[in-house]
Amino acid sequence: MRKEQKNGFSLIEMIIAMGIFTVVISVVAMVFSNSSSYQKRILAGQEVENNARYIAEFISRELRTAREINSSQRSASLNDSDLSFVNYKGENITYCLANEAGACGADGEFIARVNLTDAQVINTSSVRIDNLKFITNDFSALPPQQKIITVFFTVQSLDNPNIKLDMQTSITARLF
């Protein structure tokens, strides 16, 4: 009697192939998962940076053209958490930490621009603001000095609390 040859895989070959396939799929899934979490961290970091840049530019633009910044704005402790001035339109403006409705308060998580008629929150709701400080030079000094306001604040991602950015910018008001 003649043995017939069968074309196919043995049980051992199938087990080895399934094992290799499982390892390859596991590695691909792990790479995909890691790249997805890295992408989320990168997007949260970009959101923090964009908010910090926008806030700094928004405040700087208005302060550079301010008509009047009161000399009493400078505090003895050098850590005022709000800044009041008269803008180029003659409006009394205050920048401060605020809640999401724009009401100023030390426990706020937003930066708001407040005038007599309304309040406008500047940053998005995807970040929180901490440590807002305005430091000014001595406006009453003789001889008169150019008015310089330094703004400090920390922007933190709400999606990833480990992502924080400390921002500092100095603004020279164009007051003569």
> Residue 57: how many CB atoms within 10 A of its CB?
11
Q: What is the DSSP letter of 90?
A: S
Which has the closest alpha carbon to 124: 114, 113, 109?
109
> Which amino acid, one-letter code, is at 12?
I
Phi then psi for 97, rounded to 5 degrees?
-70, 140
Tens-digit pLDDT profile for residues 152-171 = 999 999 988 899 999 999 99
Half-sphere exposure of 48 (CA within 13 A, CB side): 24
Tens-digit pLDDT profile for residues 2-34 = 666 667 788 899 999 999 999 999 999 999 988
Higher local confidence (pLDDT), 3 or 105:
105
Q: Report the DSSP pairing between strands 127-136 and 82-86.
A: unpaired
Which pair of tokens denotes residue 1? Answer: 């009697």
Q: Is 62 helix (H, G, I), strand (E, B) or coil?
A: helix
Give the span between the Cα atoms of 99 and 69, in whole angstroms: 25
Tens-digit pLDDT profile for residues 39-65 = 999 999 999 999 999 999 999 999 998
- Phi-psi region at 60: left, alpha or beta (left = phi > 0; alpha = psi -120 to 50): alpha
> Residue 74: how many CB atoms within 10 A of its CB?
18
How would residue 106 be classed by pLDDT, with cut points 50, 70 and 90? confident
Residue pair 67/90 in contact (Cβ under 8 Å)? The answer is yes
How would residue 1 be classed by pLDDT, with cut points 50, 70 and 90? low
Give the span between the Cα atoms of 75 and 47, in whole angstroms: 32
Q: What pLDDT sits at residue 71?
A: 61
